[in-house]
Structure 1
Amino acid sequence: MKHFSLLMMFALLASGAMAQKNLLKGKITDKNQNPLAFATVILEGTVRGVQSDVNGNYELKDFPKGDYQLKISLLGYEDSVLPFSITEAETKILNIVMTEEPLWLDSFELLSSRGILGQEKLAEVEDFRINAGKKNEVIRIRDIDANLAMNNSRQIFGRTPGISIWENDGSGIQLGVASRGLSPNRSWEFNVRMNGYDITPDPMGYPEAYFTPPMEVVEKIEIIRGASSLQFGPQFGGLMNFVLRKPDQSTRFTVETINTLGNNGLFSTFNYIGGTEGKFSYTAYYQKRVGNGWRENGYFNTDHAHIEVGYAASNRLKLGLEATYMTTESQQPGGLTDQQFAEDSRQSTRERNWFSTPWFVPSLSAEYLVSPKTRLSWKVFGTIAERNSVGFVRQINEEDDLGNRQVDRDYYTTYGSELRLSTDFKFLGLDNSLASGIRYFNGHIDRKQNGVGSNGSEMDFELTSGSEYPRNLDFRNVNYAAFAENVFRFSDKFLLTAGLRLEQIESSNSGQFNVVNGQPQILDPITRTRSFLLAGLGSEFHVTPTTELYSNWSQAYRPVLISDLTPPATTDVIDQNLKDSRGFNFDFGYRGNIGTYLNFDVSYFYLNYADRIGTLTQLNSDGSSFQFRTNLGGSISQGFEGYMEVDPISAIFDKSRFGYLNIFASIAFVDARYGDFATTRLVNGFLQESNLKGNRVENAPRKINRYGATYRYRSFSMTWQLSDIGEAFADASNTLEPNAAATTGLIPAYVVQDLSASFTFMKKYSLKAGVNNLTDERYFTRRAGGYPGPGIMPADGRTFYTTLGLKF
């Protein structure tokens, strides 16, 4: 925290000390002289821009003398462009009167102003990437009535079709989501980023998302399904990018505090500052969240801090610095057997299990405007983090013997850099947009496991005196990548996209596997180096000015992970020709909006996940068995994803003095099944062969339906949501009856409801409240095979929260 405070002080002092070269200011109003707030004001051809404040005033400071074009944009008004000249140290006043424009039906934000749109789509080309022709969603957090203090993913992703969620972490520390029959395990089938850079330990070798930013500071979540692999690399699920709130461009200094109380001892405080002064912009936040959890032995205590400083070094160059820090203290209540869950799902038989993930993510960035149509972006980022656990981790049907606990610790040190170029140009008479880039990533994981810890009950990751970790592994990943994707616009209605990505990955694993009778067992070092090319094609056809057909085919891959290179026993064998899992995603859909009352996106998808990695039981010449890890086969996921949101009041009356009602349905049918996937097992000394072909993929419900309704009247809104999720299997063998340890068996279907409301008054006060799991359903979404289980991981029952916010 000391480093954040010093950095913030430096930014404020530096911005205050800057000598102002000149000043452009004025007021933006409509034709009736009413002030227009939050209009975007930019100097065209530069990186400089601000927003008008609540009184319509704006100020642009400290830019070189010269001739400029001032562009003002605001939803519902025609863009205004004013040429002007300014000299050194001159103060110039330009007042602007905006002209109201006709109601453009493809304006997503206008729909949002009426409450119709809790979900949008990305622009065709934006932020050095191409989104045209791709299945994508934008979740605007500010438009959602939800328990943001607890990062309630069921509500946050409520309008995003096909998102399956593991609801076993009521603390909100970790996010577990997936789509299209993939595993939600810490969202590891998504390429998880924040502000465009990596925040997982290692997307090439250990892509588990242990860090999730507080939703109170997230402006939006961008999701691009598997077609994102060309521009971002793995995984099959696509990209999930958390975009944090940017510095307030309408004021020098903004302060906001959001405080939440709830049952089970919940207390959360979120505090934010931000603003723009001359060439400098800044934001900083701090969140503290503490609670006892819904289950016994479910205590959590988290701290998040973040700072972002931007500096316009010139009219064409903008520099940025970001740093995020998180500490956690989380007690893990462990799993339950089926009998225990039926008796009381709130109970816990593990009171000595603790988990902690200190996380530090720094980033530097630079954006350079080469020309009005060509821009460069450079990001340098890193992760210095840990994953620490201590506890009694045997099967859940074994009673804790109150002896020494097991300690496992991971240390992550990663860094990388991405250089991207975005340009618009004409070729063969066509309007083109090109996005290209190069990437370097270097990841190092130091894994220490099976240590002998204390026999206490507190969070303590120290080993007993004189002991060492029997397992001490060193995993490294180096990745080079280059990509290019282009949009070919054949007309105002039709476009095609085409792209390629070249990957080179080198993975290595070495170290000590175990200690037996005092003798260390050293693994034979394993190194995998491979290069390959990915390709993709997409298209869009605008059926009407506000609706479009879209389609995309893109190859995808999942790199060999650290778990794939780590044998469970020294007798196990890793295939020397082990390959990355390869495959492709295909989408075909129709999306758009009709008037200000209907928004929709319906699509068919097909996901081919080939070369999945698994283990076969094999026999040595002496009759002994060993496990052989190799590429065994693949799976196919296909189905339908549909989203529709309608406002019947706008449809009938256009405008209403009594508020607006929007009703949404987010539905998905997912058929995820194994193809030819060979397996073996040892029965009475003989190998028995079988095949998973036709089995449903584990943790993949066939039905993922969510429905809801939001009523809005002026500054009041209330949302009811129902989630109707189908049954799933916990293992690839599709075992119906649970085993004694509750790690396999059916995961039953469930229905759960949420109710939330918010009210803003006097423009600076806000009050929110809600009930999650309104009817107190008892259900679970996961049977864990290991930590934080093992066993059934119950979802939270009924919880309450109340939030009071203040902004000035």
Structure 2
Amino acid sequence: MKLVVFAIALFFVTFSFGQEIYRGKVLDKENDAIPGVKIHNLTSGALKRTSIDGDFAIAAQPKDTLVFSFSYYDSLFVVVGKELKLGGKNLLFMKYQTQDIEEVMIIQKRMADFNVGFMPPIKGVRLNTGTNSIIELENLSGAKSTGNAREMYAKVPGLNIWENDGAGIQVGIGGRGLSPKRTANFNTRQNGYDISADALGYPESYYTPPIEALKSIEIIRGSAALQFGTQFGGLLNFEILDPVEHSPFEFTSRNTVGSYGYFSTFNRVSGTHNRMFYQAYHQYKRGDGYRDNSAFYQHQAFAQLGYYLNENWKVSAEFTHMNYLTKQAGGLTDVNFEEDPRQSVRDRNWFAVDWNLLALRSTYELSKTATLNVRAFGMVSNRRTIGFLGKITQTDQGGNREMIYSDFMNGGVEARFLKKYSWFKSEQNEAKIKGALLIGARVYQGETKTEQGTAADGDDANFIFVNPDDVEGSSFTYPSLNQAVFAENMFFIGKKLRINLGVRIENIETQSSGFYKQYVVHPLNFDTLSISTINDSNVVERTVPLFGAGVSYKTGKKSNLYTNITQNYRAINFTDIRVTNPNVVVDPDIKDEYGFTSELGFRGLLNDLLIYDLSAFYIFYGDKIGLAPKPKTIKKERTNIGDAQNYGLELFSEIDWLKLGAKKRKWTLKTFVNTSYINANYITSKEPNYVGNKVEYVSEFMIKTGISSSFKNWTLKVQYSYNSSQFSDASNAEEASGDAVIGLVPAYAVFDFSGKYAFKKFFQVEFGVNNFTNASYFTRRATGYPGPGILPSDGISGYVTLQFKFTK
């Protein structure tokens, strides 16, 4: 027995001493390091990955075979002792897969030089076609602490932004003539899972992750958007920063002070140890606001814990919490706005949100060509509003206030399977057709409970109903159920042509059940004559098939021409229908919206110094829901106004002027132009006077342009933003109504300045002045909260941010 033990020990000692540590670096053909490359020793079975700098060290014996593999690259086989030598620094080069080579090259350069780019055709378990943009935030200059959307989204064409929240608490963006209201026309996600109140019944986003916590923002429009739901706008996905690799601990602290009592602190820890990775951050910000009666505070927290079960299987859990309280200054009349946009005539209006998200994710690489991803997610949240909702021309006499309380609960599971394949391949010839098939399924259930009634008097944030068991306005529950299956296939034909086909089948069930009260009021003394309680319930179930297709053709090494068409669908929003607003009535026959989006574009990169994307689009929007004056009354009506069409041109381009010369320089001088022309009008309507009218909240011309320069550790940027005038309702009323709810939104122009200085170690300083010409303007007229009336945008404001980062 002793001899056996001795022999085994001798074998392992001999084996161990026979191995040496081989070191090297993995690069692509552009001489850029490739982090995370999987290294598999076929002889010993050992597994390693390259560091963030592409470095590796692995134990091996002469004649062992090592396989280097990574997404979008052809596997590299290396024989130890032959291609891999002891001593020195072995440089190994991996080639891009033929079907992805140009897209990957473009992306790498764009991310490094322009902070914006286009996504590869295949990314994880997702296919990307048509118009898509990815905003890389690490080196982007601007007011990150306040999440100034005007700067953050400056290089994405066609986006209209509502700017009545100078703290970045809620972001409202709409694309190509779609409403910006709480970003409701986008399928809004974080790390690929839903974050809105109810993806179908109430697709509005009260939660926006802090820009300081993000790696990138992804926007996908066109046929690829079918993978994410039925919305007209496509996908808006916030990608949280990845935990730092190859270090057990990293700490980042960003502290900002600014105008109007603004203060923010963002602190994050992250790390990786063996197979485990983690991160957690917390952000707190508060301020007095630009206007009177507009103070706020907000907390945001996020925690992620993940583990590699093996080299091919990664699981993680994520929890997000956000809460905030804002005092709302209310709206203004046009006369008030001209007098002083900072004034407020409401001092008892408050808004509070508590948001909680949990997500579990699993990604398993079944093989080099097949990946399975499953994500489960759930949310328990609420929002509360309290105040005086009367017209802005009415004086708040005090007394009891109006309150709306909503509870949101939803959960779902989404599974995706991606398989890459090749057809007509032989040992002598490369495959004539390559492809990728994505299939997936989704189950989602949501429930929203909303109550509206009389609340306590006073001027504080006292969210308590006077009669919680019998509210004076309405009480409804809105369950929703959704099952969906989808498939997307992308063919790579030869080296230039790419064709994608997609289908999605949605089964949607939306319900409402509850009561609302009607009041008969004396026309002279306004006494209540009678109160009627009306019970109401509704169930709508439908199965909706949606199709999409696209084609892309490479016109050069780094350019391509693309076109696609996809169907759209948007279910009616029951929560909007049943919330009582004294200024608005709802059409009882309101219906779902439907339509399609088509586009034609040309994009590319020229000599790594010029990036460009030019596209034309057409959107048919059937049974569009909007706000219009109700005939023979002084109220506005939410109804299917009619069929609309949105069409236009979008252009983005950025050039680094100093790359025009042959000599490499240590500094850069870049300019960008982002401009769009959008013509959105009604082509049919039940109200004949609306035919030919412009769609509300669409700027015909939008321009964002800027100049930036970097030298050594300095970066400076000046940006100009312009929106032409917009109508606030389908009647296209130019003269403002007395309550300021309807009327023209005038054209406006804003200048922003930002800069930063990075020290050699640990510290970075960021600074800027937003709206440095102190332009007085507004972007919306609200019908209810946080108005009603004109909501002025912030005037001139400055900020300074100090960042400290330490990595062990």
Instruction: Give the secondary structure class of the aligned counterpart of 1:289.
Output: strand
**Deviation of the 1:648 alpha carbon:** 1.2
Ranges in structure 2 where 5+ consecutive residues have no aligned partner:
1-18, 425-431, 520-528
Instruction: Give the secondary structure class of the aligned counterpart of 2:772.
Output: coil
Match of 2:6 in 1: none
Q: Does 2:243 align with 1:244?
A: no
Can you list the C-alpha shifts for 1:599-653, whole angstroms capped at 9, x where unaligned? 000010001111224699999xxx9999998755210000000000001110123
Distance in 2, matches of 1:79 and 1:95, equals: 23
Instruction: Give the secondary structure class of the aligned counterpart of 1:477.
Output: strand
Distance in 2, matches of 1:322 and 1:537, equals: 34
Q: Does 2:173 align with 1:177?
A: yes
Q: Which moved more, 1:431-440 or 1:561-570?
A: 561-570
Q: Decide which of 360, 363, 368 is 2:364's aligned counterpart.
A: 368
Match of 1:17 in 2: none
**Deviation of the 1:531 alpha carbon:** 0.4
Distance in 2, matches of 1:548 and 1:200, equals: 34
- Asked whether the equivalents of residues 223 and 549 of structure 2 are also in contact (C-alpha less than 8 Å), the reply is no
Match of 2:504 in 1: 501
Distance in 2, matches of 1:585 and 1:419, equals: 26
**Deviation of the 1:143 alpha carbon:** 2.8
Change (3 A) 1:571 1:585: closer
- Asked whether the equivalents of residues 783 and 791 of structure 1 are also in contact (C-alpha less than 8 Å), the reply is yes
Match of 1:746 in 2: 744
Distance in 1, matches of 2:682 and 2:249, equals: 56
Change (3 A) 1:152 1:196: same
Q: Decide which of 127, 130, 145 is 1:130's aligned counterpart.
A: 127
Match of 1:521 in 2: 533
Match of 1:671 in 2: 679
**Deviation of the 1:712 alpha carbon:** 1.3
Distance in 2, matches of 1:367 and 1:148, equals: 31
Specify the code of the residue in structure 2 equivalent to 1:282.
Y
Change (3 A) 1:565 1:266: closer
- Asked whether the equivalents of residues 490 and 501 of structure 2 are also in contact (C-alpha less than 8 Å), the reply is yes
Change (3 A) 1:399 1:492: same
Instruction: Give the secondary structure class of the aligned counterpart of 2:624.
Output: strand
Q: Which has the larger radius of gyration?
A: 2
Match of 2:7 in 1: none
Q: Decide which of 640, 660, 668 is 2:668's aligned counterpart.
A: 660
Can you list the C-alpha shifts for 1:181-212, whole angstroms capped at 9, x where unaligned? 11100011111111001000111110111000
Match of 1:411 in 2: 407
Equivalent runs, 1:343-422 vs 2, <5 Å: 343-422=339-418
Distance in 2, matches of 1:712 and 1:537, equals: 42
Count of residues in correspondence between the two structures:
751
Match of 2:279 in 1: 283
Distance in 2, matches of 1:289 and 1:626, equals: 38
Q: Does 2:513 align with 1:510?
A: yes
**Deviation of the 1:352 alpha carbon:** 1.2
Can you list the C-alpha shifts for 1:63-121, whole angstroms capped at 9, x where unaligned? xxx9862458999xx99665689xxxxxx999853368999986345535763x12100
Instruction: Give the secondary structure class of the aligned counterpart of 2:138.
Output: helix
Change (3 A) 1:138 1:772: same
Can you list the C-alpha shifts for 1:484-509, whole angstroms capped at 9, x where unaligned? 01011111100110111101001110
**Deviation of the 1:668 alpha carbon:** 0.2
TM-score of the superposition, structure 2-length normalised? 0.87
Identity %: 33
Q: Which moved more, 1:519-528 or 1:235-244?
A: 519-528
Distance in 1, matches of 2:714 and 2:451, equals: 52
Distance in 1, matches of 2:636 and 2:111, equals: 58
**Deviation of the 1:144 alpha carbon:** 1.3
Distance in 1, matches of 2:539 and 2:331, equals: 36
Match of 2:292 in 1: 296
Change (3 A) 1:706 1:630: closer
Distance in 2, matches of 1:231 and 1:261, equals: 41
Distance in 2, matches of 1:553 and 1:72, equals: 32
Specify the code of the residue in structure 1 equivalent to 2:613.
D
Match of 2:523 in 1: none
Match of 1:792 in 2: 790
Instruction: Give the secondary structure class of the aligned counterpart of 1:342.
Output: helix
- Asked whether the equivalents of residues 40 and 74 of structure 1 are also in contact (C-alpha less than 8 Å), the reply is no
Distance in 2, matches of 1:616 and 1:800, equals: 39
Change (3 A) 1:415 1:399: same
**Deviation of the 1:425 alpha carbon:** 1.1
Match of 2:544 in 1: 532
Superposition RMSD in Å: 3.3
Change (3 A) 1:628 1:763: closer
Instruction: Give the secondary structure class of the aligned counterpart of 1:339.
Output: helix
Distance in 1, matches of 2:205 and 2:791, equals: 18
**Deviation of the 1:47 alpha carbon:** 14
Distance in 2, matches of 1:627 and 1:786, equals: 12
Match of 2:732 in 1: 734
Change (3 A) 1:668 1:414: same
Distance in 1, matches of 2:80 and 2:535, equals: 70
Specify the code of the residue in structure 2 equivalent to 1:542.
K
Distance in 2, matches of 1:267 and 1:124, equals: 41
**Deviation of the 1:48 alpha carbon:** 8.2
Q: Does 2:651 align with 1:642?
A: yes
Q: Does 2:257 align with 1:261?
A: yes
Q: Decide which of 592, 601, 609 is 2:613's aligned counterpart.
A: 601
Specify the code of the residue in structure 1 equivalent to 2:765.
L
Match of 2:4 in 1: none
**Deviation of the 1:596 alpha carbon:** 1.6
Match of 2:90 in 1: 97
Equivalent runs, 1:133-152 vs 2, <5 Å: 134-152=130-148
Specify the code of the residue in structure 1 equivalent to 2:556.
T
Specify the code of the residue in structure 1 equivalent to 2:514.
G
Distance in 1, matches of 2:126 and 2:372, equals: 12
**Deviation of the 1:60 alpha carbon:** 9.1
**Deviation of the 1:710 alpha carbon:** 1.2
Distance in 2, matches of 1:125 and 1:573, equals: 44
Q: Decide which of 767, 776, 787 is 1:778's aligned counterpart.
A: 776
Instruction: Give the secondary structure class of the aligned counterpart of 1:582.
Output: strand
Distance in 1, matches of 2:365 and 2:108, equals: 30
Change (3 A) 1:606 1:356: same
Q: Decide which of 306, 311, 320 is 1:324's aligned counterpart.
A: 320
Ranges in structure 1 where 5+ consecutive residues have no aligned partner:
1-22, 86-91, 680-689
**Deviation of the 1:550 alpha carbon:** 0.5
**Deviation of the 1:327 alpha carbon:** 0.7
Change (3 A) 1:25 1:130: farther
TM-score of the superposition, structure 1-length normalised? 0.87
Distance in 2, matches of 1:489 and 1:478, equals: 36
Instruction: Give the secondary structure class of the aligned counterpart of 1:346.
Output: coil
**Deviation of the 1:582 alpha carbon:** 1.0
Distance in 2, matches of 1:495 and 1:252, equals: 42
Match of 1:559 in 2: 571
**Deviation of the 1:744 alpha carbon:** 0.8
Q: Does 2:459 align with 1:492?
A: no
**Deviation of the 1:382 alpha carbon:** 1.0
Can you list the C-alpha shifts for 1:634-684, whole angstroms capped at 9, x where unaligned? 100000000000011101235113x011110000000011110113xxxxx
- Asked whether the equivalents of residues 47 and 369 of structure 1 are also in contact (C-alpha less than 8 Å), the reply is no
Specify the code of the residue in structure 2 equivalent to 1:379.
R
Match of 1:687 in 2: none
**Deviation of the 1:38 alpha carbon:** 7.3
**Deviation of the 1:805 alpha carbon:** 0.5
**Deviation of the 1:464 alpha carbon:** 2.8
Distance in 2, matches of 1:442 and 1:664, equals: 43
Q: Decide which of 458, 461, 464 is 1:462's aligned counterpart.
A: 464
Instruction: Give the secondary structure class of the aligned counterpart of 2:37.
Output: strand
Distance in 1, matches of 2:47 and 2:293, equals: 52
Specify the code of the residue in structure 2 equivalent to 1:178.
G
Change (3 A) 1:277 1:81: farther
**Deviation of the 1:469 alpha carbon:** 1.9
- Asked whether the equivalents of residues 325 and 361 of structure 1 are also in contact (C-alpha less than 8 Å), the reply is yes
